[in-house]
Amino acid sequence: MTVSPARAKHTLITGVIGSDTHIVGNRILSMALEDAGYQVVALGALTPAEDFIKAAIETAADAIMVSSLYGQGELDCRGFRDLCVEAGLPDILLYVGGNLVVGKQDWEDVERRFLEMGFDRAFPPGTRTGDVIERLDREFAARADGPAR
């Protein structure tokens, strides 16, 4: 993984939302982001939506990365973008990933629902950390080149 000095300028909040205790994948992602040069504030498991937003405000974060593996992510993430807007973070980059819904569902439908909820990106289970980092790099570069969302 290439470490870019530009990455050190960006602070990311990571954590596992709601009543989910599945922390391993989130910890692997947080470590990979740190190794790539990003500043990471890892909130851990069992994190309420409001705690992600509070941490983003306190650290002037550029992105919030929500993880959920127990299948209730769709419920736990409802209204997340609205909470960000209410807190004065209307343009913060929002990523979500993991096993976000109960049962076997078509990923394109799941992704569409999360995008409609205001997330900028939704990643399916098994997404490689390098793919997330590559996407972050492109998003931050695009935001630097033009107006925010």
Active-site positions read 20, 22
Per-residue buried b or exposed e for 36-52, using 16+ beta carbons within 10 Å of the residue's own CB: bbbebbbbebebebeeb
Q: Tally DSSP H helices, then E strands, for the chain.
A: 6, 5
User: How far is the first Cα of the chain from the last one, in angstroms, to the nearest whole number?
Assistant: 28
